[in-house]
């Protein structure tokens, strides 16, 4: 939860800096955000490539493990579509925010580029909230839900921030499933977010 709070702090700091006039709004134009997005994706690739478990993860990859990210995707999209009726916003906007799968840093930039900063902010808050709730609810959810469903709660965070609590709660045998789940969702985020933003 500490990481989520730090990110939220810097997000609010950016808002305050822009409102107060300390930082001019023109400093972050489309070219800068695209460059930061490319840099972010490079860092994700480096972190995956440096992981000593990468070969072991791919060696243990089974077709049935790919059904978990599919289930997470379908469940997230169904929930996002239902929420769009509650908040009276276009369904495509709700789906774009949900398609971040808690990968807030990437999805919020993509949404801001394609739709605007207002929806980008909504996407950021929605995906940070998903990560924070996962960190809080995993121990409770594990009592009532099967392990695969508990992993689905974390979306794309199940190979980094929420992995320790998942392993501690579910057991080490679920480590590779959680990592594979997150890797598949991570790579799907740009596709889904861009698709829903274009609708």
Structure tokens at 102: 């808690």
Distance between CA atoms of 121 and 91, rounded to whole angstroms?
A: 17
Nearest to 178 by CA among 143, 142, 144: 142
Q: Do the Cβ atoms of 100 and 108 come closer than 8 Å? A: yes
Q: What is the pLDDT of residue 135?
A: 86
67-85 tens-digit pLDDT: 999 999 999 999 999 999 9
In this predicted structure, what is the pLDDT of residue 161? 81
Residue-level pLDDT at 98: 97
Query: What is the model's pLDDT at position 182?
Result: 92
Non-local (6+) Cβ contacts of 23 within 8 A are 14, 17
Predicted pLDDT of residue 25 = 66
* E-only strand ranges, the chain: none
Task: Provide the pLDDT for residue 132.
Answer: 86
| Per-residue model confidence (pLDDT) at position 60 | 63
Low-confidence ranges of the chain (pLDDT < 50): none
């Amino acid at each position: 939860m500490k990481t989520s709070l730090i990110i939220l702090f810097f997000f609010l700091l950016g808002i305050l800096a822009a409102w107060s006039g300390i930082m001019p709004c023109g400093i972050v134009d489309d070219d800068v955000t695209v460059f930061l997005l490319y840099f972010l994706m490079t860092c994700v690739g480096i972190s995956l490539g440096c992981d000593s478990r990468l070969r072991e993860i791919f060696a243990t990859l089974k077709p049935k493990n790919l059904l978990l990210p599919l289930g997470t995707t379908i469940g997230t999209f169904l929930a996002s579509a239902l929420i769009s009726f509650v908040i009276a916003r276009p369904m495509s906007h709700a789906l774009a925010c949900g398609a971040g799968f808690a990968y807030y840093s990437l999805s919020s930039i993509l949404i801001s580029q394609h739709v605007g900063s207002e929806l980008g902010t909504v996407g950021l808050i929605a995906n940070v909230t998903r990560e924070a709730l996962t960190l809080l609810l995993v121990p409770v959810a594990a009592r009532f839900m099967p392990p695969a469903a508990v992993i689905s709660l974390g979306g794309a965070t199940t190979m980094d921030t929420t992995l320790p609590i998942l392993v501690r709660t579910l057991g080490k045998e679920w480590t590779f499933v959680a990592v594979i789940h997150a890797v598949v969702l991570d790579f799907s985020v740009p596709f889904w977010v861009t698709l829903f933003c274009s609708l």
